[in-house]
């Protein structure tokens, strides 16, 4: 891309400034010449002697001529009047007196120059703005998209993107369309008009778009959905038109719109009424995407993590023809991503990326990049020569649980409660078949409110969970509260996060998964966010009766009470292991899986559970 030119002042502006200065100079110097300034007292004497021939009064300034020349040979004079009473008093004392015009000659000159210069300066600032004469007030409707040169500015290719093989294969076809449009068009196929990348935050949607630009080697217009939204109606639509006009002159090219939901939110769903600016901008985008010639090789690439709120007209065939899911990577994908992000790191021989990937289920590509950097920071802080597996484990703990709070000193009673609480989680998980293996238990405070944590390591990536698996997860979450109950002291606030997670699972089982026999296979709540995991719109009316709401509350409460009772039964049967493990935690603060006490075999536990619950 050419270097930005320095803003310059046009010749027209210089001509205006020169004219204003000339006018001020003529006005100022027109009064300078054969005119002699004299004191007002001398003017009074000339007047009394009858020597004044003509007088012109302009406010306090008096100009005139004499019948005869003054000692300096001049007949024209000018003076500044003095109030009559003061002049009479001074004349009786034989005092020479004179007046002074406000500001003097210099102030008079400035009064002619400063206002025009101020006006010209404001005009130049409004027309030029921050981007030269082409930006600012007079170009508010111009597109803010950045033209990126694929040859010089983009160093990313598909080899630099891992963990999303299906999305890469789909986008590779778009690259081939742009490179060889004639080959794909020999059977009548035409280039897709729009490709929408959808997925959770941090999965690499923007990175994929840059890789497409790097592979295709065509002009790449990059913008954001929020850059089209302005306060003034019509500005966003004008920017959309300008963007597509630029794209047509640069075809074949790619237009990339990040965060499309800021621009393409569904029309008519706001409880506060329509918003003319956003709707006009969206309407213009719809018209442009369905209006440009099919022979023009322009691909609109967009990304969003909120496809559920996009306007249906935007997603129909002919506009965004394809939706490409960029999801969280599986274990194999995480290994590939870690290979990319650890390429420039010095790893110890004990580091196996497969083991690191097993520690990070649910991590996105951005999370894994952060993990590699955190591991390098941990190794640097301890003065190591390379990055070991322990550094990656510490980095995972730091990301998941937060920073260690060694300065947070707990009183002995609180440390004892936390030790029993965390050991309760661990022993319940060890006693339930199929639960994720325990990796570490600690009572070192971390993050904002965590006084301890129990780390489990899943053996596989899971995409479906059965009824009994969900019940097992709730039971493990209730293990901390169950241990506090058996301790015989007042239950504490330490289980607040466990209760919130267990309640979310129970409500999902009842409201969305139809797992309660009494309520039947009905989805009572379908307004959950697709990728962000947030609840639906707050004004959505409830779609069930008060009686059904009461039954839902009872079903959720029953599931949680059953899970708590089951956890209490497991820990009561393993009370000796609970006391031993809590004592070890109090002594060492952190225990690994090998340091945990043994629990009774699962079969025996199942038999006891059947008799106690």
Please state the rounded mean pLDDT for residues 550-563: 93
Residue 345 has pLDDT above 80, yes or no: yes
> What SS3 state is found at 335?
helix
Residue 556 has pLDDT above 90, yes or no: yes
Percent of the chain with pLDDT over 70: 72
For the segment(s) 1-139, the CATH number from 3.30.750.24, 3.30.720.210, 3.30.9.10, 3.40.1390.10 is: 3.30.720.210
For the stretch 430-461, pLDDT in tens is 999 888 888 888 888 876 667 888 888 777 77
For the question of whether the overall pTM of this predicted structure is more than 0.75, the answer is: no
Q: Are 1-139 and 412-612 in the same CATH fold? A: no
Residues with a known catalytic role: 422
Residue 288 has pLDDT above 90, yes or no: no
Q: Could you tell me the fold of the domain covering 412-612?
A: Methane Monooxygenase Hydroxylase; Chain G, domain 1 (1.20.58)
Rounded to a whole number of angstroms, the CA Rg of the chain reads 40
- CATH class of segment(s) 146-325: alpha beta
27 vs 35: CA distance, rounded Å: 15
Tell me the pairing of strands 220-224 and 253-258: parallel
343 vs 121: CA distance, rounded Å: 54
Please state the rounded mean pLDDT for residues 176-186: 73
For the stretch 267-276, pLDDT in tens is 765 555 445 6
- Domain ranges for the chain, please list them: 1-139, 146-325, 331-401, 412-612
Question: Higher pLDDT residue, 574 or 87?
Answer: 574
Left, alpha or beta for 224 (phi > 0: left; psi -120 to 50: alpha)? beta
Could you check whether the bond before residue 499 is cis, i.e. omega within 30 degrees of 0? no
For the stretch 16-43, pLDDT in tens is 666 666 665 555 555 455 677 777 677 7
422 vs 589: CA distance, rounded Å: 11
Phi then psi dihedrals of residue 58, to 5 deg = -130, 90
Residue 568 has pLDDT above 90, yes or no: yes
Please state the rounded mean pLDDT for residues 390-399: 87
DSSP state of 611: H
For the stretch 198-221, pLDDT in tens is 988 888 888 888 888 788 777 888
For the stretch 292-312, pLDDT in tens is 555 567 888 898 888 888 888
Question: What's the whole-number average pLDDT of the chain?
Answer: 77
Q: Could you tell me the fold of the domain covering 331-401?
A: Helicase, Ruva Protein; domain 3 (1.10.8)
Q: Looking at 7-21, 59-73, 110-124, 194-208, which range is the least confident one?
A: 7-21
For the stretch 528-547, pLDDT in tens is 556 555 554 444 567 788 88
147 vs 150: CA distance, rounded Å: 9
Question: Higher pLDDT residue, 15 or 472?
Answer: 472
């Amino acid at each position: 891309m050419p270097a930005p030119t320095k803003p310059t002042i046009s010749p027209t502006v210089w001509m205006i400034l020169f004219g204003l200065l000339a006018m001020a100079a003529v006005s100022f110097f027109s009064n300078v010449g054969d005119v002699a300034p004299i004191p007002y007292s001398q003017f009074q004497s000339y007047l009394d002697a009858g020597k004044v021939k003509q007088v012109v009064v302009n406010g306090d300034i008096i100009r005139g001529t004499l019948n005869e020349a003054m000692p300096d040979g001049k007949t024209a004079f000018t003076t500044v009047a003095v109030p009559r009473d003061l002049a009479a008093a001074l004349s009786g004392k034989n005092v020479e007196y004179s007046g002074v015009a406000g500001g003097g000659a210099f102030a008079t000159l400035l009064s002619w120059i400063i206002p025009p210069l101020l006006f010209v300066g404001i005009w130049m600032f409004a027309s030029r703005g921050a981007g030269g004469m082409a930006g600012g007030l007079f170009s508010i409707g111009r597109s803010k998209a950045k033209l990126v040169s694929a040859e010089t500015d983009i160093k990313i290719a598909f080899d630099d993107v891992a963990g999303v093989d299906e999305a890469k294969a789909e986008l590779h076809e778009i690259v081939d369309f742009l490179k060889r449009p004639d080959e794909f068009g020999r059977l009548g196929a035409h280039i897709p008009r729009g490709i929408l990348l959808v997925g959770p935050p941090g999965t690499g949607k923007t990175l994929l778009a840059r890789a497409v630009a790097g592979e295709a080697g065509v002009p790449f217009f990059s913008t954001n959905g929020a850059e089209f939204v302005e306060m003034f109606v019509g500005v966003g639509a004008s920017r959309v038109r300008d963007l597509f006009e630029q794209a047509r002159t640069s075809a074949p090219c790619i237009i990339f719109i990040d965060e499309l939901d800021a621009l393409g939110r569904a029309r008519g769903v706001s409880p506060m009424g329509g918003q003319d600016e956003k709707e006009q901008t969206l309407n213009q985008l719809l018209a442009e995407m369905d209006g440009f010639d099919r022979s023009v090789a322009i691909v609109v690439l967009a990304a969003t993590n909120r496809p559920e709120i996009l306007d249906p007209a935007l997603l129909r065939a002919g506009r965004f023809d394809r939706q490409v899911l960029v999801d969280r990577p599986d274990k194999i994908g995480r290994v590939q991503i870690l290979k990319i992000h650890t390429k420039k790191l010095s790893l110890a021989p004990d580091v196996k990326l497969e083991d690191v990937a097993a520690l990070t289920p649910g991590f996105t590509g951005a999370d894994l990049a952060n993990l590699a950097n955190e591991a390098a920071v941990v190794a640097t802080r301890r003065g190591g020569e390379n990055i070991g597996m322990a550094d990656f484990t510490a980095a995972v703990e730091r990301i998941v649980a937060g920073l260690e709070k060694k300065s947070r000193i707990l009183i002995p009673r609180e440390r004892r409660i936390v030790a029993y609480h965390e050991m309760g989680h661990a022993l319940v998980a060890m006693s339930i078949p199929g639960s994720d293996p325990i990796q570490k238990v600690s009572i070192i405070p971390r993050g904002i409110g965590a006084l301890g944590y129990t780390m489990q390591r899943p053996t596989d990536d899971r995409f479906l969970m059965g009824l009994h698996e969900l019940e097992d997860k709730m039971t493990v979450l209730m293990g901390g509260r169950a241990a506090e109950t058996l301790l015989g002291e007042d239950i504490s606030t330490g289980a607040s996060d466990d209760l919130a997670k267990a309640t979310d699972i129970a409500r999902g089982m009842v409201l969305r998964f139809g797992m309660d026999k009494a309520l039947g296979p009905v989805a009572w709540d379908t307004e959950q966010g697709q990728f962000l995991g947030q609840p639906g719109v707050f004004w959505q009316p409830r779609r069930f009766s008060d009686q059904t709401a009461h039954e839902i509350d009872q079903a959720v409460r029953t599931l949680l009470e059953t899970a708590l009772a089951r956890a209490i039964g497991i820990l009561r049967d393993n009370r000796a292991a609970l006391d031993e493990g809590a004592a070890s935690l109090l002594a060492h603060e952190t225990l690994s899986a090998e340091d945990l006490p043994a629990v009774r075999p699962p079969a025996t536990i199942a038999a006891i559970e059947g008799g106690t619950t």
